[in-house]
Structure 1
Amino acid sequence: MRVKEFKIQSFVLILISLILGFSEFIIIGILDDLSKEFSVSVATTGYLVTIFALVYAISTPIITSTLRSNLYHAMLVLALVFTFGNALTIIAPNYTVLVISRIIVAIVSGALVSLSMTFATVIAPMAKRAWLVSWIFSGFSVASVFGVPLGTWISTTFGWRFTFITITLLSIITVLLIIKTLPHNLMQKKQGHILQQFVIFKDARIYLSVFIQTCSLAGVYVFYTYLRPIFSKTLSFDAGLITILLTIFGVMSLISNQASGRIADNKGLRLMPVLYLIEFIVLITMPMLLGNVWSGTIDIMLVGVLMYLVNSPLQLHIMGVAESDYPHSLVLASSINSIFSNLGISLGSAAGGLVVSNFGLNNVGIGGAIFTAFALISTIMLNKVNAAKQTVY
């Protein structure tokens, strides 16, 4: 019975991340449609990604550090706010209301990821932690595999508002599953004062992890934010093929997350410098490779395989440090990865907008390579600190 219960609860936690990913990433698939609907440039609609990620990064530590009540109740309230925000998007009459609705969704999304990770550490036996963490992250990749292409198809076929109707209905179903399956009595242990929880950021193992995650996602999102325009404008694929290509890219990112779990179970962060070096080469050569449809497409798919490899090793590293030395900061620690992922997304998408506006779509890879180089250097430094402290992740 316990095994069956664990499987059901794991499914719900993965489903939460899938819906969160669907809601967050769908903007990338419908940039062109929103641009036409509200008569703004593609670069301007691209800043929806920046705004969402920035609000996400700012709000998540504030919410998670103030959670003192029953964590199940907190998750339920946040899930209802998330549902409301997506429902507001459906009826947005103008670009301003659209931005407001996205801000509402962003405010609670990070805390929901954090709570999912916290629930995962409670319900999963030690041998299954890396598996469940990698699958919670993979929920976002599944959203890329199925959600973004499906949402893009719905948008081009019926209109972008029907995409958010779908997201809202799925959100309602998820809320009902949360009520039915997750433990109702989970409390954060040994939580201290808000400022006391932030002491964790004084640890070199944490602030280097933060910098790695920020630069890693920034490097990817300089490019990823403009994936659909690259397919449609730079590589000149038609709309039908773009949906297929987005699906393939999503499969690549899913492979990335699953490989991330395997890396976490084996060499972990010690392997990441080599992988970042490969990613740097893939991104720095992108402007040249985009000159040909085949080489450009292959290069893009390679980015998909590489983009999430650091997630599980870094998440387990941060949680391990928190459990060992900062137990009063456990929920905040569980949110660090997602907070600074979105800070990286915000930074990368904003940088991507500047690159596109000033240098064109073809050069987004160079901007991504610069951030990836910083992630590479920071990972080497973190591995040295871990070796000195005899911290093995």
Structure 2
Amino acid sequence: MKEFRIQSFVLILISFVLGFSEFIIIGILDDLAKEFSVNVATVGYLVTIFAMVYAISTPIITSTLKHNLYHAMLVLAIIFTFGNALTIFAPNYAVLVISRIIVAIVSGALVSLSLTFATVIAPIQKRAWLVSWIFSGFSVASVFGVPLGTWISTTFGWRITFITITIFSLLTIFLIIKTLPHNLVQQKQGNILQQFIIFKDPRIYLGVVLQTCSLAGIYVFYTYLRPIFSKSLNFDPSLITILLTVYGVMSLISNQASGKIADYKGLKAMPTLYAIEFVLLGAMPLLLANTWLGTINIMLVGAFMYLINSPLQLHIMGVAERDYPQSLVLASSLNSIFSNLGISLGSAAGGLVVANLGLNSVGLGGSVFIAFALIATIMLNKVNAAQKA
């Protein structure tokens, strides 16, 4: 049991470092815009580029992993560390984009491998717990990593923030070597076309549409969270780090609640929750007119941010284990792939909303995607009910 706890900590740490690296752009948006003499919307597209590369590269890498998965994780972690180190020395915006692309290429496969390791090391009764905590590693990054990185950037410069991320990355590599099983080998896979058969199943394609729309709805506004706090709600810059921390706590609560929902009602609980989220996002433009009502509204949205993660991850893995064992590693990556596709769509849509309707309208854009998520989850529940009938 002690070994399981240590290995679980390492898998959660991997998620934390990945989340720290991915989400930090949101916390230092203004600093990067100033450094490279570009507008905030242009820097915001770093989020879009990262997420799109992540979504494209992850299925390609995961579907071609054929040998020792420990070695694969180690190599990918080294590439990830190199990409973050390159960011430190970026002399211009173009090199910054290249460094983020390098990090994005391997991030999704690292998440997938973490989830694959989790299914091996966790007893069946601990799987939902470990999966929810692996996803919670990203929320912990929001709670501690992004505010810490934002404070470091404001106080010492954004390059010091990426030095911090690189140090965490090196520590993670050391712990991977010391703690994770070295002999985990990929089960026999079919060729790439055989693995992609899984997408013909409505339980899968409705699931990935659901995940895409869910994250898109959040990231229309989340990409611009710091400018919303500073410009729409007029908070003093000294309070921004605290507000980002509180939002991160709400997203952590969201991930932990996700595990409870997975154990309790699973996907059946989601239509009601999406209906509430739709109202919260739709009301945001009105509530942002008042500092405290707007802040409460944003924090409540944070509590809904990741509720879908564990129920959908366990649903997809369950379908793959039963009906598509040749696609198991690919299936483990679908949640993160389509989360990042959603992030890409949402952040791009957010940029369009900000450019055409203004910063206060991002909630309306998010509510459109959440409406589609609501429809998708209702359809998925009907398909699941028909399969069991």
TM-score of the pair, normalised by structure 1 = 0.99
Which residue of 331, 336, 339 corresponds with 1:338? 336
Which residue of 64, 67, 70 corresponds with 2:65? 67
Correspondence 1:129-144 to 2 at 5 A: 129-144=127-142
Question: 1:100-157 CA distances to partner (integer Å, 9 max, x unpaired)?
Answer: 0000000000000000000000000000000000000000000000000000000000
Give yes or no for contact 1:64–1:114 (8 Å, CA) kept in 2: yes
1:301 match = 299
1:278 match = 276
Shift of 1:390: 1.3
2:387 match = 389
Which residue of 104, 107, 126 corresponds with 1:109? 107
1:89 match = 87
Give the Cα–Cα distance (whole angstroms) in 2 for the partners of residues 370 and 50 of structure 1: 18
Give the Cα–Cα distance (whole angstroms) in 2 for the partners of residues 361 and 308 of structure 1: 23
Give yes or no for contact 1:188–1:330 (8 Å, CA) kept in 2: no
RMSD: 0.6
Give the Cα–Cα distance (whole angstroms) in 1 for the partners of residues 294 and 388 of structure 2: 42
Give the Cα–Cα distance (whole angstroms) in 2 for the partners of residues 147 and 238 of structure 1: 21
What percentage of residue pairs aligned between the two structures are identical?
82
Shift of 1:194: 1.1
Q: Which runs of 5+ in 1 are unaligned?
A: none
Give the Cα–Cα distance (whole angstroms) in 2 for the partners of residues 100 and 373 of structure 1: 34
Question: Structure 1: which amino acid aligns with 2:25?
Answer: I
Give the Cα–Cα distance (whole angstroms) in 2 for the partners of residues 163 and 238 of structure 1: 22
Give the Cα–Cα distance (whole angstroms) in 2 for the partners of residues 287 and 294 of structure 1: 13
Question: Structure 1: which amino acid aligns with 2:139?
Answer: S
SS in 1 for 2:23: helix
Q: Which runs of 5+ in 2 are unaligned?
A: none
2:35 match = 37
* Larger displacement relative to structure 2 (92-101 or 233-242): 233-242
1:100 match = 98
Give the Cα–Cα distance (whole angstroms) in 2 for the partners of residues 240 and 320 of structure 1: 46
SS in 1 for 2:187: coil
SS in 2 for 1:183: coil
Which residue of 229, 232, 235 corresponds with 2:230? 232
1:52 match = 50
Question: Structure 2: which amino acid aligns with 1:345?
Answer: I
SS in 1 for 2:155: helix
Question: 1:223-280 CA distances to partner (integer Å, 9 max, x unpaired)?
Answer: 0000000000000111111100000000000000000000000000000000000000
Give the Cα–Cα distance (whole angstroms) in 2 for the partners of residues 151 and 100 of structure 1: 21
- The answer on 1:209 being equivalent to 2:207 is yes
Query: Which consecutive segments of 4 or more residues in structure 1 shift more than 4 A?
Result: none
Which residue of 170, 176, 179 corresponds with 2:177? 179
Question: Structure 1: which amino acid aligns with 2:312?
Answer: L
SS in 1 for 2:320: helix
- The answer on 1:11 being equivalent to 2:12 is no
**How many residues end up aligned between the 2 structures?**
389
Shift of 1:190: 2.6
